[in-house]
Amino acid sequence: MYLKHISLTNFRNFTRLDLDFPRRVIVLVGSNAQGKTSLLEAVYYMAAFTSFQTHSDRQLVNFLAAREARKQVVVGRLVIDYQRAKSDHRLEARLIMEPSGVNGMRLRKEVLVDEVKRPLHDSIGKFNAVIFVPQMSQILEGSPEERRRYLNLTISQTNPAYVRTLSEYNQALSQRNALLKALNDRRSGASASNGGNAQQLGVWDEALARLGAKIILWRIQAVQEIERLAARIHHELTRGKEVLRLSYQPAYDPLPKPQGQLGLEMDTPVDRSGLELEDIREGFIESLTRLRKEEIARGMTTIGPHRDELRFLANSVDLGHYGSRGQIRTALLAVKMAEVHWMKEHTGEWPLILLDEVMAELDLERRADLIKYLGESEQVLFTTTDLNLFPAEFAAKAVIWDLKDGNVSRRKAKG
Amino acid sequence: MLLPEPIQKLINAFERLPGIGPKSASRLAFFLLRAEASFSDDLAEALTDLKNKVSFCEECFNITMAGRKLCEVCESPERDDDVICIVEEALDVLALERTGGYFGKYHVLHGVLSPIEGIGPEDIKIGPLVERVKKGEIKEIIMATNPSMEGDTTALYIQQLLEPYNLRITRLARGLPVGGDLEYADQNTLLRALSGRQEMD
């Protein structure tokens, strides 16, 4: 799959941008604060319909335009034309800010697939992209939430049902938490009746486990597959010195723990591949029932996919805690390249690869490795402040764009 | 300029209605101000009658005329006493009645379980349903709550509650709409239609 054209209106610092994309490697050169990363963000937005940078869509709308939103309707618009399986498609996202109430505003999101309005959960995964930005080391070093978000964004691109199941799971979770809190309040005598009894908890357990089991199973499969691909790439990147492992640690672990053992050592590989959906669901309900007293006391759901963890280990050392800058970069690069191949395996199409300032972070050998791995794919978009970071013969073959103040110009080939 | 109190009061009242914002509320109020007196009288009468002349059936909690103990359906000797269809709202009864294909009775819950909104089993008509079942005449319960998470969860709760009474408990089928196009059905619906397929007869 490859991108043919992008058109942005009121997105970040672009008031208006129209750009044709060639089907090859593109290097976007520009100084700081010219809009390089924003362009990558825009392309990635069309794959995930959420930004990798911010959780708030509001910040995506052009700052100057958004100031007017208290008075009149302001629309941030992203349109892409792309080719997938030899046929042309179009995706459009509208971020509509409109005045609401006294001096307030609200944001509405619309998505159009081939010019027809579609619900968000049906639109994710139409266009696939893998993005790599330096601050993504947060996936390894940051909070568990970053890693769950990473898993969610990745899996949703290849599995449309995942998006819907996840949102239903979160709905069931909110309802169950509200009930646990009500039961807790009643126990402590805070209020007499606010709509909860313990028997009711059983049906919310069922809903939570039914949806949660699916998510756990999909995560097990995805982590296993990505680990297999990433480990191979990582092995090459480290010249055989390190072994990368992805350790998925579900908050409700469907794997029975051996008798008398409290937990497994993290560096022991765990094989969860034999688990069936029904076993996970039943086990999940049993655990919820067992924990019921504690959960009422805490007034919240303590196990389930919303508290899952994923750790990255090199030679059994947890990179999130003990990894050096270089180790983390290499591991992340391996995982991202694995993601590219994983998407290809699942969708039959190469995703568009977006790389923000990666060359500056890599030594000469790794740069050559990266370029080697990108060799097979269809379309790659790099950003850089300095073209000299790229090997000369590679730069000669690529299309070079200069980006200045939100305007893109194509650099003429020398000679 | 401050609006005269009666107008402001009416606007405030309109604003509390679902789907009505401040603009619509003032438009409605000023429309009534200009309209003939008979129009407002009719409206006022209709509003007072709504509360005075409508009440809920003691048996199934469907809406009925004030002064009557039972609704039309519960009173009718032609309806089956041993089948009860459970719905969320009185409007759902209307929808089912329009089909002309159901001959049992109803039970209107007036809501679904939703801990977020503080609605528990005591806040909807689940208790009276159990009382009805306890009398022992009922053989089948049809769950016709909406196919939403809250609707499904409420149905499951009722099912567990009624387990000891040895009833046949069924649920409305989910799947393709009649006259619908297969290719336009969303995945979830299609998946449910597939798993709920029936023998051809």
The CA radius of gyration of chain B, in Å to the nearest whole number, is: 22
CATH 1.10.8.420 residue ranges of chain B are: 5-52
Asked if A203 and B123 come within 8 Å (Cβ–Cβ), the reply is: no
Chain A residues whose CB is inside 8 A of the B186 CB are: 122
Identify the residue with better confidence: A267 or A385. Answer: A385
What letter would DSSP give residue A315? Answer: T
Among B113, B154, B156, whose Cβ lies nearest the Cβ of A206? B156
Pairing assessment for the beta strands A129-132 and A352-356 based on DSSP bridges: parallel
Average pLDDT, chain A: 88
Are A233 and A373 in contact, with CB atoms under 8 Å apart? yes
Mean pLDDT within A214-243: 94
Mean pLDDT within A340-350: 95
pLDDT tens digits for B28-65? 999 999 999 999 999 999 999 888 888 999 999 999 98
Mean pLDDT within B82-95: 95
pLDDT tens digits for A179-213? 999 888 877 665 444 445 777 899 999 999 999 99
Q: Which stretches does DSSP call E strand in A296-398?
A: 309-314, 317-318, 352-356, 380-384
Mean pLDDT within A265-271: 64
List of domains in chain A:
1-128+351-415 (3.40.50.300), 137-348 (1.20.1050.90)
Task: Enter the pTM of the model.
Answer: 0.84
- Could you tell me the fold of the domain covering B77-171? Dna Topoisomerase Vi A Subunit; Chain: A, domain 2 (3.40.1360)
Q: What are phi and psi of A129, to 5 degrees?
A: -145, 150
Are A335 and A327 in contact, with CB atoms under 8 Å apart? no
3-state secondary structure of B54: strand
- Could you tell me the fold of the domain covering B5-52? Helicase, Ruva Protein; domain 3 (1.10.8)
The answer, for B26 touching chain A at a CB cutoff of 8 Å, is: no
User: What residue of A is the nearest CA neighbor of B121?
Assistant: A195
Mean pLDDT within A51-76: 83
Mean pLDDT within B191-195: 86
Chain B residues whose CB is inside 8 A of the A164 CB are: 188
pLDDT tens digits for B91-102? 999 999 999 999
CATH 3.40.1360.10 residue ranges of chain B are: 77-171
pLDDT tens digits for A130-165? 999 888 889 999 999 999 999 999 999 999 889 999
User: What residue of A is the nearest CA neighbor of B148?
Assistant: A168
Asked if B153 and A204 come within 8 Å (Cβ–Cβ), the reply is: yes
Chain B residues whose CB is inside 8 A of the A207 CB are: 149, 152-153, 156
3-state percent helix, strand, coil for chain B, nearest multiple of 5: 50, 10, 40
